[in-house]
């Protein structure tokens, strides 16, 4: 075995790809998560005993320190898109990363990789973006040679973006979009995992890397492209930010009254975040500096969005049969 890496959030959407890659490189992988009993699947990424899920609460010093003991490298993938209970932006994305970095430095961990997000900005109107910037600063205070990755919106088989809107398109004739003209640079989850792998193994120079895919699209264009792939015609309606804030207010009230049983479709902070483009900044270090060629959406989306088509996996067969009848 090459060494031991602790991956906080290693069973999540991005974390599982990083865990698999490092296991394949021969590392022992310690997957630190809140519910290790739900993360047993990560054990299959390596030989017996190579990948092990353990309990960890990143809000607690002792819990984090225990997860770091003996580690040669640490990767932090933990983040939240919306606050829930004690998992606030401040606790998870500001205090959490700094706690991990501080304790990693105390434990003599050689390298740290921290996953942030494009748009991290201490002056942003979005608390999400401000907490991401504060988390980065906290990491660099204690681990100045850390590698910080700022991906744009992630896509992949388990994503919460294309899957969510494709599922909506199955039942709704209308797809409402707040921030329809906001630009994104979607990036494949495994390309970001590749960057994290290089950083964790010491093959990437310290610093901040902004990671975006090869193509830039508006929010509306992404939804239209998704609809084309699942062979569904739906009306895509762009909503003003004012309407988005109203929707967030009503959704938040319903969520509170239902004690969280009904989740708001969008939050006020997400509306604020959508007012800024989510693309790689001019002059920023990125995939090219890591010698990685990011894959395009068109090469990946059909592999997992086919199940949202009217006839699922049989649509291609039906289309082929229709052509035969014509001849």
Q: What is the pLDDT of residues 243-274, one digit of tens each?
A: 999 999 999 899 888 877 888 889 999 999 99
- Which residue in this structure is represented by tokens 């009993």? 37
Question: What is residue 188's three-state secondary structure?
Answer: strand
Helix axes 219-229, 162-171, angle to 10 degrees: 60
Cα 26 to Cα 45: distance, rounded to the nearest angstrom? 11
Helix axes 189-200, 13-24, angle to 10 degrees: 50
Per-residue confidence (pLDDT) for residue 299, from 0 to 100: 95
What is the tens place of the pLDDT at every residue in 33-62? 999 999 999 999 999 999 999 999 999 999
| pLDDT single digits (tens) 180-230 | 999 999 999 999 999 999 999 999 999 999 999 999 999 999 999 999 999
Q: 5 has which bridge partners?
A: 29, 73
| Residue with the two structure tokens 């681990």 | 143
């Amino acid at each position: 075995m090459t060494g031991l890496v602790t991956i906080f959030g290693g069973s999540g959407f991005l974390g599982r790809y990083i865990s698999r890659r490092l296991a394949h490189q021969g590392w022992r992988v310690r997957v630190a998560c809140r519910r290790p009993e739900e993360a047993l699947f990560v054990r299959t990424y390596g030989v017996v005993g190579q990948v092990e899920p353990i309990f960890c609460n990143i809000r607690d010093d002792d819990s984090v320190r225990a997860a770091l003991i003996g580690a040669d490298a640490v990767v932090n993938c933990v983040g939240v898109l919306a606050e829930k209970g004690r998992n606030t932006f401040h606790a998870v994305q500001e205090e959490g990363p700094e706690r991990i970095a501080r304790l990693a430095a105390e434990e003599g961990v050689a390298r740290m990789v921290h996953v942030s997000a494009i748009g991290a900005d201490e002056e942003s109107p979005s608390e999400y973006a401000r907490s991401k910037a504060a988390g980065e600063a906290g990491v660099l205070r204690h681990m100045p040679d850390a590698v910080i990755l700022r991906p744009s919106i992630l896509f992949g088989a388990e994503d919460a973006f294309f899957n969510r809107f494709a599922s909506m398109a199955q039942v709704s004739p209308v797809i409402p979009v707040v921030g329809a003209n906001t630009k994104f640079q979607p990036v494949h989850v495994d390309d970001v995992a590749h960057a994290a792998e290089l950083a964790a193994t010491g093959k990437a120079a310290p610093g901040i890397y902004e990671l975006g895919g090869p193509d830039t699209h508006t929010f509306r264009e992404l939804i239209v492209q998704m609809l084309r792939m699942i062979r569904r015609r739906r009306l895509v309606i762009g909503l003003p930010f004012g309407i988005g804030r109203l929707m967030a207010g009503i959704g938040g009230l319903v969520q509170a009254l239902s004690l969280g049983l009904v989740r708001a479709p969008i939050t006020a902070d997400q509306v604020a975040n959508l007012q800024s483009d989510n693309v790689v900044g001019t002059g920023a270090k990125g995939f090219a500096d890591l010698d990685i060629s990011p894959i395009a959406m068109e090469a990946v989306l059909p592999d997992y969005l086919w199940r949202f088509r009217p006839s699922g996996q049989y649509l291609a067969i039906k289309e082929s049969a229709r052509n035969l009848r014509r001849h």
